[in-house]
Structure 1
């Protein structure tokens, strides 16, 4: 046993750098923690989890993570609070709590240093994620137990009646409400950008050039439906600058003015609750659209797209796929966010198959490009395209 402890401590001090090895070690370490945790530590961990979010937000507000990450020497509560005027006694309590959760490292009495977690939380993009979760999602989670009890524990499926509306005292759709919260939306967009920095994308697992072979400058090659700020259009142009053809970003008129200015990308105001006006594109693309809606609404979006598809058209859906068993933590956390904020879901593989079959689509390719989250592409075509329909 003593040898095992020494080996674990050595691994903690010098963890593997290979992402696959790190993930495997992380999953094994989680199982070890669960197996060795006594009941009192279990209940402390569960009860303390919302406190981690709360006091991480306080630390972000005070700039504690950045100060610790920038320092080469341990810092005290007095030095950390000098610029903010925060009470050193309050700060010492917050710092002790963060250290006990391994978010920062305690090196002595009232002395603290950054560790790997601190460095992550010093990133502005991840701090934006903490803020969005604390201010937008946490109230929904608090409202969820009573909401589910009041609705007889039925799966939420009404986008206008979910824990979100109760928590934020609104009768608006979540995204409509959010658009009226500029700070919240700025944090959300920054967080989304940070999460995908340096990560693989759908273009790493799909042969775009092969599918678009033979296109010309007049060919409609890519329509990004509900594409927001146009990140995927910009990515396509960056990775394939020589591909001829028209690339179109579609979204609501109040979104498009904020889109990334990208040469060669057209912008078209479009509401995906209406029929797709651009006919015969080689690729129609939806990223994280269907996850925002329960099945009936998702079907309506798909049904508005299919009539525009010609025999050579593909519809690429870029979303999480939760495995039918053995789901990862990151995908199930996101599923709970969808349920409590949007009365929607991250779908399992079986649920995707059923939804797409109902919509009249045949799956040609299903490939994960991020194993940790289950982010994947589902490449589809209309079923009647096989017989020349369209």
Structure 2
């Protein structure tokens, strides 16, 4: 194979433009002939990403940096020399996770915490990332007794801004929960990118930490059985393609909860089409 490639390289260097054009055509046909039907579908289906990556590279000046570099550069070195800022993505995620009205406006928090023991945790946000839901909870209900805790892996918590009255606890949600007996365990947009078995495993772990007076709050899109909104359908297909996961309907939620020994108490919808709390 190396000898054949050397011959093609020599031919490309010695021939004229017409010869190189013919060579490109023949090589493309050869490459296509080696693909299976599935490989061709994958290549064409993802071809738009190449243009997007090139556009991003141009905007960030990546190609200029690579040309001017005197040695190979790591990803971290490239990031340091570009205007890319991971904080921009974090800002977007925080804003995107704030539907209007907030889930706090529809769930009766004060009714369920009127006689809550201040020594016990009242609100635990699992996989909380920036902790904006914990911050909103404490800001809206500063008088509610109990600890408010945001949990996530340490690298994410290191970038999470501190909020008065909100504790940070390093924890992977796929390990046994360290905070037990809380009133509310809250997860926002976590389950929709989990395949069924992973979702069941996570539910079982949370169940271990719950007591008889605990409530699991799951903040997710819950599409109807028919006439699904186009955006919910698009996200559902994205989750399927990326994670073998799904945006679950009410029936699917009831089934998966019953499988792990939990029961669904109620659905509560905000006016935002993609958000429900229960």
TM-score, length basis structure 1:
0.49
**Is 1:276 equivalent to 2:177 in the alignment?**
yes
**Is 1:310 equivalent to 2:211 in the alignment?**
yes
| Cα offsets for 1:138-161 (capped at 9, x unmatched) | xxxxxxx947978xxxxxxxxxxx
**Is 1:376 equivalent to 2:272 in the alignment?**
no
Highest relative contact order (Cα 8 Å, sep 6+), 1 or 2? Answer: 2
Moved more, 180-189 or 252-261: 180-189
Residue 326 of structure 1: how far off its partner (Å): 1.1
Aligned to 2:142: 241
Does the C-alpha gap of structure 1 residues 223 and 300 become closer, same or farther in structure 2, counting only changes over 3 Å? Answer: same
For structure 2, which runs of at least 5 residues remain unmatched after alignment? 1-36, 51-75
2-side partners of 1:197 and 1:312: how far apart?
Answer: 27
2-side partners of 1:332 and 1:211: how far apart?
Answer: 34
Aligned to 2:122: 221
2:192 to 291, 294, 303: 291
Residue 211 of structure 1: how far off its partner (Å): 0.6
**Structure with the greater alpha carbon radius of gyration:** 2
Aligned 1:188-267 pairs, distance under 5 A = 188-196=89-97, 199-267=100-168
- The 8 Å contact of residues 330 and 372 in structure 1, kept in 2 or not, is answered as no
| Cα offsets for 1:347-389 (capped at 9, x unmatched) | 122211111111211111101113422x1012xxxxxxxxxxx
2:221 to 320, 324, 334: 320
Q: Give secondary structure in 2 for the equivalent of 1:304.
A: helix
**Is 1:333 equivalent to 2:215 in the alignment?**
no
Moved more, 247-256 or 212-221: 212-221
2-side partners of 1:148 and 1:218: how far apart?
Answer: 60
- The 8 Å contact of residues 231 and 260 in structure 1, kept in 2 or not, is answered as no
Count the aligned residue pairs.
208
2-side partners of 1:212 and 1:148: how far apart?
Answer: 57
Does the C-alpha gap of structure 1 residues 279 and 340 become closer, same or farther in structure 2, counting only changes over 3 Å? Answer: same
For structure 1, which runs of at least 5 residues remain unmatched after alignment? 1-144, 151-162, 169-179, 379-390
Q: Give secondary structure in 1 for the equivalent of 2:155.
A: coil
